[in-house]
A = this chain, B = another copy of it.
Amino acid sequence: MTVANAIEQACPGRRLVYFGDLARTPYGSKSPETIQKYSRQNIEFLLGKGAKLIVVACNSAASVAAEEMRREFQQPIFDVIGPAVAKVGQIVGAASAKATRIGVIGTRATIKSGIYSRKIHELMPDAAVYSTACPLLVPLVEEGWLSKRETKMILRRYLQPLKIKRVEALVLGCTHYPLLKELIQPRIGKQVKIIDSSLEVAVSLREYLARHPEDDEIEREGGSSEFYVSDITEAAVATARKIFGRPIDLVKV
C-alpha cells in the first residue's frame, strides 16, 4: 500500500489496479518456490484486470520472483529493488572515488536471496555491502508500535552491526520500513543516507512512462484506482485509510 500510494502521487490520472494478498502474507519468511507461485498467481490476476505494466511492490517477492516472472510474462515488470539500487549508485557511488560501505535491511527472504548485494556490486564493484535480516520489524509496524520503547530497542539491536561498519547509506529493503524511518535515522547515524525502496520505484515508473508516451495513452484510460485483496480485516481497512489519507474500498476476491 505504501508503494501504491507513492505511485498514485507520482503518476496521477493513471488507472491503478492494486492487489494485496492478505490471505497469505507475510511472504518474508516463506520459501522462494512458494513466493514465486504466489507472485505468478498475483500477476495473472492483475493482467486479468487489464494491467499493461506490473509493479512487484514487495521486496521479498521482488528478491526471489521478479526475474523469473520477467521470463514468464511479456509485460514490463517493475520491482522495488532496481530503482533503490540505482538511487544508491546516484547518491553515494558517483560522488565517491573510494570504496563505499552500504547497509541493507530487509526480511529473511530478501536478505537470504543476496539480491541487493549482487545488484549493488554490478553497479559498484568496490562497494562493501552489509546486510541484516530484521524479521520482527514487519509485525511491529503492522501492530502500529511506531514509537514504543521496545521497537527502538529492537531497531538498535538490528542496526548495531551496520553502525559498527560505518555504512554511508542504508537501503530500506522492505516496504514496511519507511514507517520506521524517523526511528532508524538517529539510530544508524544522522549522516547516513537512507534510501526508501517504495519511493524510488514510483519515481522510476514516472520516468519510464514519460519516456514511453505510447504506453501513456493506453494507461491513461480510466484514471482511477481499484483495490483488490484476498482477505479483509478491520486492521487492513484502517491501514489503507491511514496510508492513502482517505477511505479505501477494499474488494475481496
Question: Which residues of chain A have a CB within 8 Å of any CB of chain B?
Answer: 22-24, 29-31, 33-34, 108, 135-136, 139-140, 142-143, 145, 149-150, 153-154, 157, 230-233, 235
Residue of B nearest to A153 (CB): B150
A135-B139, A135-B143, A153-B150 given; A233·B29 CB < 8 A: yes
Assess whether A29 is in contact with B142, with CB atoms less than 8 Å apart: yes
The CA of A233 and the CA of B113, in the complex, are separated in Å by: 13
- The minimal Cβ–Cβ distance linking A133 to chain B, given in whole angstroms, is 10
- The minimal Cβ–Cβ distance linking A208 to chain B, given in whole angstroms, is 33
A149-B153, A150-B150, A153-B150 given; A30·B139 CB < 8 A: no
Assess whether B233 is in contact with A31, with CB atoms less than 8 Å apart: yes
A157's contact among B150, B154, B157, by CB below 8 Å, is which?
B150
The CA of A34 and the CA of B20, in the complex, are separated in Å by: 14
Assess whether B143 is in contact with A154, with CB atoms less than 8 Å apart: no
- A145 proximity list for chain B (CB < 8 A): 136
Q: How many copies does the complex hold?
A: 2
- A136 proximity list for chain B (CB < 8 A): 136, 139-140, 143, 145
The CA of A154 and the CA of B143, in the complex, are separated in Å by: 12
- A232 proximity list for chain B (CB < 8 A): 31
- A230 proximity list for chain B (CB < 8 A): 34
The CA of A232 and the CA of B145, in the complex, are separated in Å by: 30
The CA of A180 and the CA of B23, in the complex, are separated in Å by: 27
- A233 proximity list for chain B (CB < 8 A): 29-31
Q: Which 3 A-B residue pairs are closest in the complex by CB-CB distance?
A: A139-B139, A34-B231, A23-B34
- A142 proximity list for chain B (CB < 8 A): 29, 135
- A231 proximity list for chain B (CB < 8 A): 30-31, 33-34
- The minimal Cβ–Cβ distance linking A218 to chain B, given in whole angstroms, is 35
The CA of A34 and the CA of B231, in the complex, are separated in Å by: 7
The CA of A235 and the CA of B133, in the complex, are separated in Å by: 14
- A139 proximity list for chain B (CB < 8 A): 135-136, 139
The CA of A209 and the CA of B159, in the complex, are separated in Å by: 52
The CA of A31 and the CA of B230, in the complex, are separated in Å by: 10
Residue of B nearest to A135 (CB): B143
